[in-house]
Structure 1
Amino acid sequence: MTVHRQLTLDLGTPPPSTFDNFFAGTNAELVTRLAELDGALAAGPVTDRTFYVWGEPGSGRSHLLAALIDSAGAHRARFLGPQSALTAFAFDARVPIYAIDDCDKFSGAQQIALFNLFNEVRAQPSAALVATGNAAPLALAVREDLRTRLGWGLVFHLAPLPDERKAAVLKHAAKERGIALAEDVPAYLLTHFRRDMPSLMALLDALDRFSLEQKRAVTLPLLRTMLAQPAAEDPAQRGAGQAPAAPVGRFK
Structure 2
Amino acid sequence: MRQLILDLLPEAPPSFENFVAGSNAETLTGLAAWLAPANRESLFFIWGDAGAGKSHLLQACQAPYCDARLDPELEGLDPATDFCAVDNVEALGESGQIVLFNLINRLRASAGRLLAAASVPPLRLILREDLRTRLGSGLLYRLQPLSDIEKLTTLAELASARGLVLPPEAFNYFFSRAPRDMRSLMALLVAIDRYSLEQKRPITLPLLREVLQTSLNL
| Alpha carbons 1:17, 1:63 under 8 Å: kept | yes
| Within-5 A mapping of 1:1-252 | 6-9=1-4, 11-14=7-10, 15-38=12-35, 40-41=36-37, 44=38, 46-69=39-62, 77-82=63-68, 83-84=70-71, 85-92=74-81, 96-125=82-111, 127-174=112-159, 178=162, 180-182=164-166, 183-229=168-214
Paired AA for residue 31 in structure 2: L
- Give distance in 1, aligned partners of 2:96 and 2:157: 37
Q: CA deviation at 1:164?
A: 0.9
| Alpha carbons 1:89, 1:114 under 8 Å: kept | no
Paired AA for residue 180 in structure 1: L
RMSD between aligned residues: 2.7
- Render the CA deviation track for 1:146-192: whole Å, top value 9, x for unaligned: 1111100111111111111111232344456x351525333223222
Partner of 1:132, secondary structure, is strand
Pair 115,194 (structure 1): closer, same or farther in 2 beyond 3 Å: same
Paired AA for residue 99 in structure 1: A
- Give distance in 1, aligned partners of 2:182 and 2:120: 18
Paired AA for residue 189 in structure 2: L
Aligned length: 212
Paired AA for residue 151 in structure 2: K
| Alpha carbons 1:51, 1:155 under 8 Å: kept | yes
| Alpha carbons 2:9, 2:187 under 8 Å: kept | no
Paired AA for residue 152 in structure 1: S
The answer for unaligned runs of 5 or more in structure 1 is 1-5, 70-76, 235-252
- Give distance in 2, aligned partners of 1:134 and 1:78: 20
TM-score scaled to structure 2, two decimals? 0.83
| Alpha carbons 2:107, 2:113 under 8 Å: kept | yes
Q: CA deviation at 1:48?
A: 2.8
The answer for unaligned runs of 5 or more in structure 2 is none
Alignment identity in percent?
41
